Structure 1
Amino acid sequence: MNEHDQDGEAARLLGPLRDFEPEARTELSPRRSLELGRRRSRTRRVAGTTLGALAVMVVVLGSTVLGRTLTHEAKPRPAAVPETFTQGRRAFTIGSGGGFAPGSYDAGAFVQRITLRPENPAGAVKGADGIVELYPRGRLPAALQGKDPSGRTVDPVYGGRTLVLWTPILRPGAVELAWQWKPGAWGLVSLRGPGVDEARAHHVAESVRLAG
C-alpha cells in the first residue's frame, strides 16, 4: 500500500467521526442538586450506621465464642478415682530378698502389708525386721498427705521409678525405699535393725511380684 492509499484509508476510518456530536450535558437545577445531595448524605449515614452495627455484632459474637471456648478449656478435669485392691485377696507374691523372708500378709483394700523376718536367724541381719506396703493407684500413706514420695533416685525396680527416701515415713530410724510397681501406684520397703542398708531394701523390692 502506497502513501496515497494510506491517506485514503485513514480518511475512510475517520469519516464517521466527523458527524459525531457529544450529547448535551444535562444541567441540574439548584433544587434538584440539593435533593440529590441530601439523598446521598442519607445513604452514607445509613451505610455508616449499618457498618457500625455489623462491627458491634462481630465483636459481641467473637467475644461470646471466645468466652465459651476459654470457659470450656478452663474447666478442671475431674480427679481420678483412687483404685482399691480386692479385700482379703493377695494382689502380690513375695519371695526372699536382701536376707529377709516374708512373714504375715494383710490383704487390705487400700493397702497390702507384708511383714519381713530374717531369712537366716543367725545371719547378717539377725535382730532386724522389715515391712513392705503396697498401695493401689491414687492412694498413699497418710504421712505423705497426698504427695508422692521424695528421695534419691536409684536403679529402677522392674522399670518403675525407684527412690531411697530422704526421711522414713513408715518407721523412724528405718532405711526406706519406694518404687512404682505400676504408673501412679507405689510400694514401700522399710528395714530397721542391724545390717540393713538400701541395697537390701532394693533386693526386697525386687522380690515382690504381682500375683498371677
Structure 2
Amino acid sequence: MDRGEWHGSTRDHAVLGLLRDVEPSAGGSVDIGRAMRAGRRRVRRRRVAVAVAAAAATALAVFLPSLPWTRPAPPATPASQLVQDGQAFDAAAPAFLVGSAGGFTPDSYETGRYRQVIRLRSTDPASRATAVITMYAPGRQPSLPDGEPAPPVNDRPARWIPRGLAWEWAPGAWGTVALEDQTEDRDRAHRVAQSVLPRRGAPVSIPFTVDPAAIGAGRRLIGVVTSYPNDQVTTRVSVKYGTHDLAGDWIEVGVRQPRPSTAPNADLSSTPAAISASEVLLLPAGKPYAIFARGGDGPARRTLATAVTVNAGSLNT
C-alpha cells in the first residue's frame, strides 16, 4: 500500500464515520452520494477548525510571555548581599523592589543605611488614602513586634500591628506596613507586604551637586529621596544629610517640579525665592525646576539651597 492509498483510505474511513450521523429520508433509505458529499464537507470544516485552533494556540503562546503579569518576578537578592557588614544598607541605593498592591502604588522611595522608607499613594485618583512601608536592616528595628501571628509574608514570619503588619523579611530583619488614616484592613496590609521584594538597585543618579562647605560640620549623607515616575516623569530628587542615620537632626536639599501657584516672596543670591517657616524654595527664572531645602534651621536651609548646582544637560537645562 502506497502513501496515496493510505491517505485516501484514511480520508474515506473518516467520511464513512460521519455517515452514522446522517438521518435516513422519509422513505427509510439513505442517499449514499449525498451523504458522502456531506461527510466530506464536514471533514473539511473540521480541518479548518483544527487549523484555526492550532494557529490561535500558537499566537497565544507567543503573545502571553510579553504580557507583564505573566513574566516571572525577578529573583530576590539575598539579605547577605543587601547589607554591608551584616547591619547596614547602601545609603545611596534602594534595597527593595515594591509593586502596586492592595489599591496602592509607590509614590516615593527614601534610601538609608539602617532603614528604607517607601511611601504609597492610592491608585484611585479620587482617594487620599496613603500607606508607608519601612524596611529595617538586621537588628535596626526599634523594637520587636509583639502582636498576634499573621499569615506568612513570602514564606517569612509575620505579626499584626495596629493598622498594619510587620514581617521578618530576613533573619533578624523586620519590615512594616502602616495604613495611614484608615481603619484596620488586614487583608489590604498583607497584600501590600507581599509586594515587597528584597532586590539590590543601582545607586540613585543625582542631577545636581552640593558645595561640601554648605553641608555643615558633622553631617554626612544619610539618604536619597526620589519620587516614582508619574506619567514617566520623576518629579523630585533630593539628598538628606545628618549627624546620625536615625536621628531627627536631618536637613534635605533637592530639585522638584515647581507648583504653578508658587509665588516668590524673597531674593537669594539674585534668584527669586519662596521662603516659609519650614522650607526655602529657589525659583530660577526660565527653568523647569525649583531648588528646595527642608529641615535644619532657617540659615542652614538658605545656605544649602544656594549651594546647589544643577548638572549641565540634566532636568532640561
Q: RMSD of the TM alignment (CA)?
A: 1.7
- Identity fraction in percent: 41
- Asked if 1:127 corresponds to 2:115, the answer is no
Task: Return the TM-score normalized by structure 2.
Answer: 0.35
1:83 Cα offset (Å): 0.3
Q: Compare relative contact order (CA 8 Å, sep 6+) and give the higher one, 1 or 2.
A: 1
Q: Check conservation: 1:131, 1:190, Cα contact below 8 A.
A: yes
Question: Any unmatched runs of 5+ in structure 1?
Answer: 1-80, 169-174
Q: In 2, Cα distance between the equivalents of 1:121 and 1:88?
A: 31
**Equivalent residue in structure 2 for 1:152, among 131, 138, 148:** 148
Question: Any unmatched runs of 5+ in structure 2?
Answer: 1-84, 201-317
- Asked if 1:94 corresponds to 2:98, the answer is yes
Question: Structure 1 or 2: larger helix share?
Answer: 1
Equivalences, count: 116
Corresponding residue for 2:278? Answer: none
Q: In 2, Cα distance between the equivalents of 1:129 and 1:193?
A: 8
- The equivalences for 1:1-212 within 5 A come to 83-122=87-126, 126-141=127-142, 144=143, 148-165=144-161, 168=162, 175-194=163-182, 197-212=185-200
1:120 Cα offset (Å): 1.6
SS of 2:169's partner is strand
Q: In 1, Cα distance between the equivalents of 2:183 and 2:122?
A: 11
Q: Check conservation: 1:103, 1:117, Cα contact below 8 A.
A: yes
Question: Structure 1 or 2: larger strand share?
Answer: 2
Task: Return the TM-score normalized by structure 1.
Answer: 0.52
SS of 1:200's partner is helix
Q: Check conservation: 1:164, 1:177, Cα contact below 8 A.
A: yes
Q: In 2, Cα distance between the equivalents of 1:131 and 1:115?
A: 5
Q: In 1, Cα distance between the equivalents of 2:197 and 2:172?
A: 17
Q: Check conservation: 1:137, 1:184, Cα contact below 8 A.
A: yes
Go from structure 1 to structure 2 and tell me whether the alpha carbon gap of 1:127 and 1:195 turns closer, same or farther (over 3 Å shift): farther
Q: In 1, Cα distance between the equivalents of 2:182 and 2:91?
A: 34
The structure with the largest alpha-carbon Rg is 1
